Chains A and B, each alone.
Chain A
Amino acid sequence: MIAVFFTAVLQLLLLLTVAPLVSGLIKTLKARLQVRRGPGILQPYRDLRKLFLKGMVLPDTASWIFTATPYVVFAATAIAGLMIPMISAKAPLGLFGGVLAVVYLLGLGRFFLALAGLDTGSSFGGLGSSREMTIAALAEPAMMLAVFTVAIGANSTSLSEIAKVATSTTWHFLAPSQMLAFAALFLVLIAETGRIPVDNPATHLELTMIHEAMILEYSGPYLGLIEWGASMKQLLLMTLLINAFLPFGLHSKWSLGGVLISLVYLLMKLLVLAASIVLVETTNAKMRFFRVPDLLAMAFTLAALGLISTFLF
Chain B
Amino acid sequence: MGESGPFLHLALGSFLAGAIAGLGAWKRPSTARIAALGFALLGTLALAVAGGLALAFPTDVTWSLPLVTLFTCTLRLDPLSAWFILTLAILAFAVSVYSFGYLRPMERTRNLGALGFFYNCLLIGLTLVFTAADAFLFMSAWEVMAVSAFCLVAFEHEKAETRHAAVVYIIMSHAGTVMILAAFLLLAAFTSSMDFSSFHLAASELPPAEQGAVFLLFFAGFGVKAGIVPLHIWLPDAHPVAPSNVSALMSGIVIKSGIYGMARVFFDFYGPPPLWTGTVVLAVGVVTALVGVLYALQEHDLKRLLAYHSIENIGIIVMGFGAALMFRTLQHPNLAAIAMVGALFHTLNHAIFKGLLFLAAGGVVQNVGTRNMEEMGGLVRRMPGTAFFFLIGAIAISGLPPLNGFVSEWLTYQALLAGFGTTHSLTRLMFPISGALLALTAALAAACFVKAFGIPFLALPRSEAAANAQEAPLAMRAGMALLAAACLVLGLGATWVLPAFDPITQQALGVPVSPSLIAHGIALQAGSPQSGTVSTAGIALVFLVLAGTAVFLVHRRLRLVRVATGPAWDCGLPGLTADNEYTATAFSKPLRLIFSAFYRPRREIRPEYDVSPYYPSAIRFESGIEPTFEKRFYGPMKAWVFGLSRRMRAIQAGSIHAYLAYIFVTLILLLLFGVRQ
Contact = CB atoms under 8 A, between A and B. Distances in A.
B533 interface: yes
B439 A141 contact: yes
Contacts of A131: 590
Contacts of A206: 571
Interface string A105-145: 10110110011001111111111011101101111111111
Contacts of A64: 380
Interface string A138-159: 1111111100110110011110
A119 B589 contact: no
Contacts of B400: 104, 107-108, 111
A136 B443 CA distance: 7
B401 A104 contact: yes
A56 to B, nearest CB: 6
A226 B316 CA distance: 33
Contact of B410 (A71, A100, A118, A133): A100
Interface in A283-313: 289-290, 293, 300, 303-304, 307-308, 311
B567 A145 contact: no
A105 B539 contact: yes
Most B-side CB within 10 Å, residue of A53, A57, A136, A300: A57
A105 to B, nearest CB: 6
A216 interface: yes
A115 B530 CA distance: 36
A119 to B, nearest CB: 4
A130 B401 contact: no
Given A111-B398, A137-B447, A216-B571, A130 B586 contact: yes
A61 B460 contact: yes
B420 A152 contact: yes
B563 A58 contact: yes
B9 to A, nearest CB: 44
Contacts of B444: 137
A75 B84 CA distance: 37
A263 B567 CA distance: 46
Given A98-B532, A108-B401, A221-B558, A130 B460 contact: no
A101 B571 contact: no
A42 to B, nearest CB: 21
Interface in A9-38: none
B106 to A, nearest CB: 30
B450 A97 contact: no
Contact of A122 (B413, B446, B570): B570
A82 interface: yes
A104 B543 CA distance: 14
B435 A144 contact: yes
Interface in B531-567: 531-535, 538-539, 542-543, 546-547, 550-551, 554, 557-558, 561-567
A145 B454 contact: no
Most B-side CB within 10 Å, residue of A103, A158, A161: A158
Given A94-B533, A111-B450, A308-B429, A124 B570 contact: yes
Contacts of A60: 565-568
Given A74-B546, A104-B400, A220-B561, A59 B533 contact: no
Most B-side CB within 10 Å, residue of A139, A149, A220, A304: A220
A230 interface: no
A257 interface: no
B234 interface: no
A136 B439 CA distance: 11
Interface SS majority for chain A: helix
A53 B561 contact: yes
A96 interface: yes
B119 interface: no
B417 A157 contact: yes
A187 B673 CA distance: 67
Contact of A149 (B432, B447, B455): B432
A52 B555 CA distance: 11
B433 interface: yes
Interface stretch (B135-143, B333-341, B345-353, B576-584): B576-584
Contact of A148 (B435, B460, B522, B589): B435
B80 to A, nearest CB: 28
Nearest to A125: B582
A134 B395 CA distance: 17
Given A58-B563, A95-B538, A148-B432, A74 B547 contact: yes
B454 A93 contact: no
Contact of B580 (A121, A134, A151): A121
Interface in B268-289: none
Contact of A130 (B519, B566, B580, B587): B587
B498 interface: no
B453 A133 contact: no
A129 B449 CA distance: 12
Contacts of B455: 118
Contact of B539 (A59, A101, A119, A304): A101
A260 interface: no
Most A-side CB within 10 Å, residue of B455, B458, B564: B458
A244 B577 CA distance: 49
Contacts of A148: 417, 420, 432, 435-436
A65 interface: yes
Interface in B20-60: none
B450 A115 contact: yes
A93 B538 contact: yes
B197 to A, nearest CB: 40
A62 interface: yes
Given A58-B565, A62-B568, A119 B580 contact: no
Nearest to B554: A221
Interface in B132-168: none
A144 B435 CA distance: 8
Contacts of B580: 121-123
Interface string A215-239: 0110011100100000000000000
Contact of A63 (B380, B426, B550, B586): B380
A96 B533 contact: yes
B414 interface: yes
Nearest to B416: A148
A111 B401 CA distance: 11
B66 interface: no
B531 A157 contact: yes
Nearest to B566: A57
A114 B439 contact: no
Contacts of A225: 550, 554
A137 B380 contact: no
Given A104-B400, A130-B589, A161-B530, A119 B594 contact: no
B437 interface: yes
B253 interface: no
A141 B395 CA distance: 20
A271 interface: no
B439 A143 contact: yes
Nearest to A60: B565
Nearest to B549: A75
Contacts of A277: none
A54 interface: yes
B535 A290 contact: no
Interface string B445-479: 01101100111001110000000000000000000
A137 B529 CA distance: 30
B554 A289 contact: no
A63 B447 CA distance: 20
A79 interface: yes
Interface of B: 380-381, 395, 398-401, 406, 410, 413-414, 417, 420-421, 426, 429, 432-433, 435-440, 442-444, 446-447, 449-450, 453-455, 458-460, 519-520, 522-523, 526, 529-535, 538-539, 542-543, 546-547, 550-551, 554, 557-558, 561-571, 576, 578, 580-582, 586-591, 593-594
Interface of A: 52-65, 70-72, 74-76, 78-79, 82, 93-101, 103-105, 107-108, 110-111, 114-115, 118-127, 129-131, 133-134, 136-145, 148-149, 151-152, 155-158, 161, 206, 216-217, 220-222, 225, 289-290, 293, 300, 303-304, 307-308, 311
